[in-house]
Amino acid sequence: MGKDRISIVDATVVSTCKAAAGNDKRFNYDFCVSELSKHHDSPDADTWGLAKVATGVGAGNAENAVADIKAELAKPGMDDKTRAALAQCQKLYNDVDFAFLRAHDTINSHNYGAGKEQVGLAVSLAHQCDDVFAKAAIQSPLTQYSSYTVKIGIICVAITDLIK
């Protein structure tokens, strides 16, 4: 049945995002189309390929978070509490990156359940970074990254569910 489902879904970004949006009310259709359309592999990708594109986009977001954290840590005059929180989040976002990369590999190997677990781990790790700042009573400068991780995670899982 999985192969039939793939062929039924017209695997353009627009139609795949539309099909995936019906599976989860948290799914952001406009975000899906916007973000997946930017990727160079999207025009030729089928549904399976778009699930992998979503993991790559998630990994790229995590890599951007790490780069921004490194830039912040390089600035002089930061208080110790903020520095410690950023350092913890740098490790967490490195792990978010690796979780998305593992999700890519497992989806590539048609192990969709394991891929979705890795995406869930990535989302959990991003939330852990938010919690680090909350516990330190500091406004996180990284909330856009956790929000993006959640949105792309939902998209990845919903698209992966189309190929089961």
Q: What is the 3-state secondary structure (H, E, C) of 100-136?
A: HHHHHHHHHCCCHHHHHHHHHHHHHHHHHHHHHHHHC
Instruction: Domain ranges for the chain, please list them.
Output: 2-162
Give per-residue pLDDT as tens, 101-115. Answer: 999 999 999 999 999
Give per-residue pLDDT as tens, 131-148. Answer: 999 999 999 999 999 999
Measured between its terminal Cα atoms, the distance across the chain in Å is 8
pLDDT of residue 44: 85
**Residue among 14, 104, 94 nearest 61 (CA):** 94
pLDDT of residue 7: 34
Burial class (CB in 10 A: 0-12, 13-18, 19+), 61: buried
pLDDT at 23 over 90: no
pLDDT of residue 42: 85
Instruction: Please identify, in words, the CATH class of the domain defined by 2-162.
Output: mainly alpha
More confident residue, 101 or 39: 101
Q: Can you give the pTM of this predicted structure?
A: 0.90
pLDDT of residue 1: 40
Are the CB atoms for 69 and 90 separated by under 8 Å?
yes
